[in-house]
Amino acid sequence: MRARRGSWELEGTPPRLFLVSPQSRNGMTRPGNHVVVLRLRMMNPSDNWHTQMSVVIHEFTENDRVRRDRYRGFALVEVLVALTLLTMAGSALLLTTYSAIDSATSSLDQTIAQGIARQFLDEAMGLAYAEPGSDPFSLQLGPDTEENGDEGRFVSFDDTDDFANYHALPLVDPWGKAMGTGDDRGNLRDPNFRLGTSHFRNWELTSTVVYVDETNPGRTLPEGSTSGLRAIEVSVYKRLGNDPARLLVTMRRIYSYVPSPQ
Whether 118 and 222 map to the same domain: the answer is: yes
CA atoms within 13 A on the CB side of 217: 11
Q: Exposed, middle or buried: residue 262 (CB in 10 Å: 0-12, 13-18, 19+)?
A: exposed
Does 89 fall in a domain? no
Whether 137 and 239 map to the same domain: the answer is: yes
Whether 65 and 118 map to the same domain: the answer is: no
Whether 65 and 111 map to the same domain: the answer is: no
CA dihedral of residues 189, 149, 144, 223 (deg, nearest 10): -100
Whether 41 and 119 map to the same domain: the answer is: no
pLDDT at 34: 44
pLDDT at 204: 93
pTM given for the model: 0.63
What pLDDT, in 10s, does the model give residues 65-118?
656 555 555 577 777 888 888 888 888 888 888 788 878 888 889 999 999 999
pLDDT at 25: 45
pLDDT at 44: 47
pLDDT at 237: 95
Q: Helix or strand or coil: residue 95? A: helix
Q: Which of these, 84, 71, 89, lies nearest to 32 by C-alpha position?
A: 71
CA distance readout (Å), 41 to 29, 37, 50, 176? 22, 13, 15, 105
List the single range of 139-143, 219-223, 247-251 with lowest mean pLDDT. 139-143
Could you tell me which residues are beta bridge partners of residue 231? 210, 254
Whether 146 and 55 map to the same domain: the answer is: no
Whether 156 and 59 map to the same domain: the answer is: no
Q: Helix or strand or coil: residue 207? A: strand
Q: What is the 8-class DSSP label of residue 160?
A: G
Give the end-to-end CA distance of the chain in Å, rounded to a whole number: 140
- Name the pLDDT band for 19 (thresholds 50, 70, 90): very low
> What is the rounded distance in angstroms from the CA atom of residue 232 to the CA atom of residue 164?
8
Which range marks the domain in which residue 40 is found? 2-74
pLDDT at 80: 83
Average pLDDT over residues 33-37: 43
What pLDDT, in 10s, does the model give residues 151-205?
678 888 989 999 999 999 889 988 888 888 888 888 899 888 888 878 888 999 9
What pLDDT, in 10s, does the model give residues 41-54?
444 455 555 555 55
How many structural domains is the chain composed of? 2
Mean pLDDT of the chain: 77
pLDDT at 255: 94
pLDDT at 52: 53
Q: Exposed, middle or buried: residue 145 (CB in 10 Å: 0-12, 13-18, 19+)?
A: exposed
Give the length of the chain. 262
Helices (H) and strands (E) counted in the chain, each on its own, are: 1, 6
Does 96 fall in a domain? no
pLDDT at 219: 93
